[in-house]
């Protein structure tokens, strides 16, 4: 069975769990999200995308 969820939903779930159960402050979660959006518009973005795709391929067990 294959379940397809948007990454934003998964990350939101983990952020909610961190705030609820680990005591992480909400402003820290917002700051990390904003930093991620800023980082995606820099020269580092292709490396982040490549690393993310490689990680997803490893988890899914699909290799080219």
Q: What is the pLDDT of residue 1?
A: 65
pLDDT tens digits, residue range 32-58?
Answer: 888 888 888 899 889 888 888 888 888
* pLDDT for residue 27: 93
**All structural domains of the chain with their residue ranges:** 24-64
Q: How confident is the model at residue 64 (pLDDT cuts 50, 70, 90)?
A: low
Q: How far apart are CA 40 and CA 48, in angstroms?
A: 8
Tell if the pTM clears 0.75, that is, is over it: no
Contact present, 54 and 47 (Cβ < 8 Å): no
């Amino acid at each position: 069975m294959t379940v397809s969820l948007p990454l934003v939903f998964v990350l939101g779930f983990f952020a909610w769990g961190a705030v609820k159960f680990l005591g992480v402050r909400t402003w820290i979660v917002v700051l990390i999200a904003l930093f991620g959006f800023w980082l995606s518009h820099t020269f580092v973005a292709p490396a982040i995308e490549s690393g993310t795709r490689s990680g997803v391929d490893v988890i899914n067990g699909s290799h080219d």
